[in-house]
């Protein structure tokens, strides 16, 4: 792919990379202002990788904000230019693209912060400050040298070989801005690249500096890793580079296999990564993937051994669901319905397994549907991903059992309409019928109706529920 593009072009000029009509306007604006201007970073990298992108970064040797305003003037609809004065950048949207403009700059860092001191610089200065050689590529947009490639660090060679290297010494790059350590792992996972050995060592050496990075920025990279085709690669690299204990210690606590009296348990860390990869083949739902990542975190604090039962993890789903809230809070992730959704799936992650057999009862399925509600399909997807046995017969058996459960769910739901149901008789009707005020007795009757429907004692219908209400009221002495 990359080799073919280069083989046809010995002069290192790639006007086809700038074929979008937006570059006609950027080129004209740059020439009007007599500013050397370049498309840089991810846009250029993704052109050579044949990856689609809707973002373009433009660097100019001069004032990026002025250039953005000049481009806006030339565009037919003169889009609004959003200016970020503190950063010396500007952004506008045109032709379904987001284009960011910045003046070329050089940076210097202090140990206490990842926010550098910035001053105007040359294109070379700007390329020096880039995180990786593959992101330091630049294509000139000025008419006189339109499409000319500037590649001072052999980024094209690294793209061809699938290697992530830093333009400067890796230790300096990662110490200056520790977020680059997360970005290295994210790019390696997204692009299926190798991180150069010196870089891996430098990340491990500087791993503690990740603590100066905001949780929000870490989450941004984590989400991108989780959403890749094979996220286990990213988490294996986070472990290898010693970053994971500073980010998700709940996962590192799962690592390792203990043995007592010849009895061992599986390594729940690597099992978790298998589950995450499995579920990633079936869903792009970020929060369902988070549920897969966290479904076993309760196993570390609940692990016990006794001679009768061997290794046990009693109530690990309940403990894990409580840990989800603490983890989300610490990581400054949303504590809204997204967190509750992950909590719920972690808490219920073993429920379908418990009923996955040929003789599964309708009442067990009704209760599962009722408790899972609209998340029943996602819960089943999580449980199917949790099958990581290497025994072909067991693998086939477990998946077949889950097919039976899915079919049973469909049959019961169509017949009984249990998902998110409310008992046909309301609390208000119970109070009116027996002249009661809000009380324990009202709750008892309503709960008994719900249980009777879930157990299959009565159908999910008004008349049957009303008859059961009258009977139950007599039993408890309120009728």
| Residue 448 belongs to some domain of the structure | yes
Burial of residue 349, with CB atoms counted within 10 A of its CB: 0-12 exposed, 13-18 middle, 19 or more buried: buried
| Residue 326 belongs to some domain of the structure | no
Per-residue confidence (pLDDT) for residue 109, from 0 to 100: 57
Per-residue confidence (pLDDT) for residue 256, from 0 to 100: 86
Q: How far apart are CA 134 and CA 140, in angstroms?
A: 16
| Residue 60 belongs to some domain of the structure | yes
| Residue 370 belongs to some domain of the structure | no
* φ, ψ at 139 (rounded to 5°): -120, 125
Comparing C-alpha atoms, which of 349, 348, 378, 351 is closest to residue 364?
351
Domain count, the chain: 2
Model pLDDT for residues 436-479, shown as the tens digit of each residue: 899 999 999 998 998 898 888 998 889 999 999 999 999 988 87
Q: Are 49 and 93 in contact (CB under 8 A)?
A: no
Q: How far apart are CA 186 and CA 230, in angstroms?
A: 11
Q: How far apart are CA 176 and CA 64, in angstroms?
A: 24
Sign of the dihedral defined by the CA atoms of residues 88, 94, 96, 97, in that order: negative
Q: Are 356 and 398 in contact (CB under 8 A)?
A: yes
Q: Which of 153, 180, 196 is the last residue of a domain?
A: 153
Our separate counts of H helices and E strands in the chain read 25, 15
Per-residue confidence (pLDDT) for residue 354, from 0 to 100: 78
Give me the torsion for CA of 357, 363, 368, 374, rounded to 10°.
120
Q: How far apart are CA 305 and CA 259, in angstroms?
A: 10
Distance of CA 252 to the CA centre of its chain: 18
Per-residue confidence (pLDDT) for residue 4, from 0 to 100: 59
Token match 């549920």: residue? 291
How does strand 259-260 pair with strand 138-140?
Answer: unpaired
Query: Is 312 strand, coil or helix?
Result: strand
Q: How many CA atoms lie within 13 A of 168 on its CB side?
A: 17
How does strand 263-264 pair with strand 304-306?
Answer: unpaired
| Residue 189 belongs to some domain of the structure | no
Write the secondary structure of 173-238 as one string of H (helix), E (strand) and C (coil).
Answer: HHHHCCHHHHHHHHHHHHHCCEECHHHHHHHHHCHHHHHHCCHHHHHHHHHHHHCCCCCHHHHHHH
Q: Are 77 and 88 in contact (CB under 8 A)?
A: no
* φ, ψ at 40 (rounded to 5°): -135, 175
Q: Which of 106, 129, 153 is the last residue of a domain?
A: 153
User: Which residue ranges in the chain fall short of pLDDT 50?
Assistant: 1, 8
Packing angle between helix 316-330 and helix 337-347, nearest 10 degrees? 160
Domain CATH for 19 = 3.30.460.10
Query: Is 139 strand, coil or helix?
Result: strand
Q: Which of 116, 134, 153 is the last residue of a domain?
A: 153
Q: How far is CA 46 from CA 62, 67, 134, 211, 223, in A?
A: 25, 24, 9, 31, 20
Comparing C-alpha atoms, which of 165, 112, 142 is closest to residue 29?
142
- CB within 8 Å of 243: residues ≥ 6 apart: 181, 182, 185, 203, 207, 210
What count of residues does the chain have?
Answer: 479
- CB within 8 Å of 193: residues ≥ 6 apart: 162, 163, 164, 187
* φ, ψ at 99 (rounded to 5°): -115, 125
Q: How far apart are CA 316 and CA 386, in angstroms?
A: 15
Q: CB atoms < 10 A from the CB of 113, how many?
A: 11
First-residue to last-residue Cα distance in the chain: 80
Model pLDDT for residues 62-79, shown as the tens digit of each residue: 999 999 999 999 999 899
Q: CB atoms < 10 A from the CB of 278, how many?
A: 18
Token readout for 124 is: 């070379």
| Residue 184 belongs to some domain of the structure | no
| Residue 375 belongs to some domain of the structure | no
| Residue 215 belongs to some domain of the structure | no
Q: How far apart are CA 241 and CA 256, in angstroms?
A: 17
Per-residue confidence (pLDDT) for residue 116, from 0 to 100: 61
Comparing C-alpha atoms, which of 81, 102, 89, 1 is closest to residue 45?
1
* Domain of 464, in residue numbers: 427-475
């Amino acid at each position: 792919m990359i080799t073919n593009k280069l083989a046809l072009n010995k002069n290192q000029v790639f006007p086809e990379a700038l074929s979008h009509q937006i570059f006609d306007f950027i080129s004209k604006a740059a020439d009007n202002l007599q500013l050397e201007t370049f498309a840089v970073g991810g846009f250029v990298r993704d052109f050579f990788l044949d990856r689609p992108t809707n973002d373009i970064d433009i660097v100019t040797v001069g004032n990026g904000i002025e250039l953005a305003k000049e481009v806006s003037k030339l565009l037919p609809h003169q889009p609004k230019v959003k200016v970020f004065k503190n950063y010396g950048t500007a952004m506008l949207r045109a032709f379904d693209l987001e284009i960011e403009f910045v003046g070329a700059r050089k940076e210097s860092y202090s140990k206490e912060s990842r926010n550098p001191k910035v001053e105007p610089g040359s294109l070379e200065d700007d390329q020096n400050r880039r995180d990786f050689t593959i992101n330091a590529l630049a294509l000139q947009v000025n008419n006189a040298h339109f499409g000319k490639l500037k590649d001072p660090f052999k980024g094209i060679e690294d793209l061809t070989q699938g290697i992530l290297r830093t333009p400067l010494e890796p230790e300096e790059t990662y110490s200056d801005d520790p977020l680059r350590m997360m970005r290295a792992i994210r790019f390696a996972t997204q692009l299926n690249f190798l991180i150069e050995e010196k870089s891996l060592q430098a990340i491990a050496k500087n791993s503690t500096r990740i603590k100066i990075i905001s949780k929000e920025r870490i989450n941004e990279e984590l989400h991108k890793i989780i959403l890749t085709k094979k996220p286990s690669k990213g988490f294996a690299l986070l472990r290898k580079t010693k970053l994971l204990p500073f980010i998700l210690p709940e996962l590192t606590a799962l690592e390792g296999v203990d043995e007592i009296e010849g009895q061992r348990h599986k390594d729940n860390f690597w099992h978790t990564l298998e589950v995450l990869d499995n579920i990633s083949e079936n869903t792009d739902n970020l929060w369902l993937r988070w549920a897969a990542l966290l479904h076993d975190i309760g196993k570390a604090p609940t692990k016990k051994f006794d001679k009768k039962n061997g290794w046990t993890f009693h109530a690990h789903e309940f403990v894990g669901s409580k840990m989800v809230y603490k983890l989300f809070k610490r990581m400054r992730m949303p504590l809204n319905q997204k967190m509750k959704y992950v909590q719920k799936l972690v808490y219920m992650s073993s429920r379908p397994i418990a009923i996955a057999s040929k003789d599964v009862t309708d009442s067990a399925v009704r209760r599962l549907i009722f408790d899972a509600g609209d998340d029943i399909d996602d819960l089943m997807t999580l449980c199917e991903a949790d099958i990581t046995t290497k025994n072909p017969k067991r693998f086939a058996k477990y998946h077949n059992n889950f097919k039976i459960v899915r079919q049973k769910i469909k049959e019961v739901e169509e017949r009984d309409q249990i998902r998110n149901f409310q008992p046909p008789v309301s609390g208000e009707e119970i109070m009116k019928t027996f002249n009661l005020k809000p009380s324990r007795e009202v709750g008892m009757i309503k709960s008994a109706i719900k249980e009777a429907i879930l157990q299959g004692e009565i159908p999910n219908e008004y008349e049957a529920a009303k008859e059961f209400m009258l009977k139950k009221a007599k039993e408890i002495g309120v009728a």
